[in-house]
């Protein structure tokens, strides 16, 4: 048991440090490790865990607690959670203190102006990437995405209505 906990901890510490630009990029490596290498989950179970983590509210990277739970129960979930988030949170916290101390300095102003277009570009990039993952996007789903994009960009509508509406449309159309 304690051996599994060590394996979970080292796997998720390493993966979190490789997750540049967010958690989505490490999913294939995670799948290889937990399915093929350690056999904690079957391939089917992993895909279902992934779907649940995308659909449940909150950060998708919480998929690690589902894997930890399956591999080693509550202790596994706890170890996976800490391993996934503690190292990166410490790094971003240190960055944020440097940033805070820079206050209204000239270099921070330059960096802010330089980062703004990159960050907006990254927002679009993550949307495009999800859109082009393709297989799960039917005509109805594309229409739902288009309507949601327009409604969210132009109105003050509560996103929960959009999410409920999107689920309802797909259930009515049947895909």
> 99-138: which residues touch another protein (CB under 8 A)?
99-100, 106, 109-132, 136-138
Per CB under 8 A, does 47 bind another protein?
no
The answer to whether the CB of 162 falls within 8 A of the CB of 129 is no
Binding of residue 13 to another protein (CB under 8 A)? no
Helices (H), 103-158: 106-132, 139-154
Candidates 3-11, 30-38, 159-167 — which segment interacts with another protein by CB under 8 A? 159-167
Residues 6+ apart with CB under 8 A from 115: none
> Which window, 2-10, 29-37, 164-172, contacts another protein (CB under 8 A)?
164-172
**Judged by CB under 8 A, how many residues of this single chain contact another protein?**
97
CB 166 within 8 A of CB 144: yes
141, burial (CB in 10 Å: exposed 0-12, middle 13-18, buried 19+):
middle
Q: Which stretch binds another protein (CB under 8 A): 1-9, 28-36, 69-77?
A: 69-77
- Given a contact cutoff of 8 angstroms between Cβ atoms, the answer to whether 140 and 146 are in contact is no
- Residue 160 found at the interface with another protein (CB under 8 A): yes
Q: Is 43 in the site for another protein (CB under 8 A)?
A: no
Query: Which tokens is 40 given?
Result: 């904690």
Q: Which of 32, 37, 51, 105 binds another protein (CB under 8 A)?
A: 51
Among 2, 103, 104, 156, contact with another protein (rule: CB under 8 A):
156
């Amino acid at each position: 048991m304690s051996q599994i906990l060590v394996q979970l901890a080292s796997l998720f510490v390493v993966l979190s440090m490789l997750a540049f630009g967010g958690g989505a990029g490490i999913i294939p490596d995670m799948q290889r490790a937990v399915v093929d290498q350690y056999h904690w989950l079957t391939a089917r179970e992993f895909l279902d865990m992934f779907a649940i983590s995308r659909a449940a509210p909150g950060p998708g990277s919480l998929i690690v607690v589902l894997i930890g739970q399956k591999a080693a129960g509550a202790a596994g979930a706890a170890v996976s959670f800490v391993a996934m988030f503690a190292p990166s949170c410490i790094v971003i916290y240190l960055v944020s203190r440097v940033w805070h101390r820079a206050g209204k300095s000239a270099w921070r102003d330059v960096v802010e102006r330089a980062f703004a277009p990159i960050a907006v570009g990254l927002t679009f990039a993550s949307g495009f990437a999800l859109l082009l993952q393709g297989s799960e996007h039917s005509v109805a789903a594309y229409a739902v995405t288009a309507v949601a994009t327009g409604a969210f960009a132009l109105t003050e509508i509560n996103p929960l209505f959009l999410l409920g509406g999107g689920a309802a449309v797909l259930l009515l159309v049947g895909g």
